[in-house]
Amino acid sequence: MARHVRKVTTVLLMIGIMCVLVLFEMDTTDKQLWPSFLLQDLRPCACNRCVTEDDDQWFTERFNTSLNPFLTQDNTLSENDFSWWKKLQQVNTNFLSYRMAEMKVFEIFPEQESFMDSRPDRCRTCAVVGNSVNLLGSHYGPLIDFHDVVIRFNTARTVGYEGDVGNKTTLHMMYPESAVDLDDNTHLMLFPFKTLDLQWLVSAFTTKSVTRTYTRVKSTIKANQGLVKVLHPGFIKYVHEIWLEEKGKYPSTGFLGVVLAMHICDEVNVFGFGADKDGNWRHYWEELRNKHLGTGPHGGGQEYKLILHLAERQKLNFYRGR
């Protein structure tokens, strides 16, 4: 009897192994036939739908899974990418000066949470909150604050607008000319246009000696020094060339945040992008004075179309607002 049970067990085990091998030989289009326990292990995250599920050729041709969006000691700027980056503002600087500024950043700001820890059992949600006037009256605030990571930009305000925009901020992307004070739990994330921006960042937490770039800037800033991050200049090049196909002079801070979110989160929800119903691009806290206000050097129309296209392909969810 025991020998018979062992034989049956061995046969069942062999059948199970053969089934698994057959499943792994299947084309990805047959995944609906896979057992749920195998699919769970193979999926890149635990969300209902993950950004990086590679079932979309258009997306995978553009999305670089190996790219680290952050500037770190192990992920420095190459001289080739520097040559592209320094043209953003036509600043006369050299690679050596940049490297010295970069090294100073690494010296002053400790490396901490990378946000690059994706795994099959994780479902990290991102809310990318733009500054469009379309947020007014949206009542999105509680939904935005429900996300694991909330990304805001430049001089974005929350006080007085909590019902529509929320009050939680995880990453606040800015450049020196748009710098604002932050609370102790928010990551200051510098969007650098030029070497002087890195020098300003260091100065704002140390000597406070940098007070001008192409205009007057804050000499110091209230923020948690242990939570400072710098967007990799090469990431800006990647977004401009690959995603925007070089439309506009360089990407807007907001669109950089959208692509960043797709790299650090498993599910991405986008709020507060686009012009109002009359075609005006303005911030939700400002009155409209210039009815011909556009998107400056950015390809705002192209960025908006791309967000809509990503939503159509179910790589993000877009909340239009009013």
Q: Roughly how many angstroms between the first and final C-alpha of the chain, as a whole number?
A: 73
pTM for the full predicted model: 0.84
Structure tokens, 303: 């960025």
Among residues 147, 187, 298, 304, the one annotated as catalytic is: 298
User: Could you give all domains of the chain from N- to C-terminal order, each with its CATH number?
Assistant: 2-42 (no CATH), 58-319 (3.90.1480.20)
State yes or no: is 240 an active-site residue: no
How confident is the model over 26-74, as pLDDT tens digits?
444 444 444 444 444 578 899 998 998 877 899 999 999 999 999 999 9
Q: Which residue in the list 98, 140, 175, 250 is annotated as catalytic?
A: 250
Within 10 angstroms of residue 282's Cβ, the number of other Cβ atoms is 18
> pLDDT digit string (tens) for 182-219?
999 999 999 999 999 999 999 999 999 999 999 999 99
Comparing CA positions, the residue from 271, 269, 253, 259 lying closest to residue 134 is 271
255 conformational bin, left if phi > 0, alpha if psi -120 to 50, beta if neither: alpha
Do 293 and 152 contact (CB within 8 A), yes or no? no
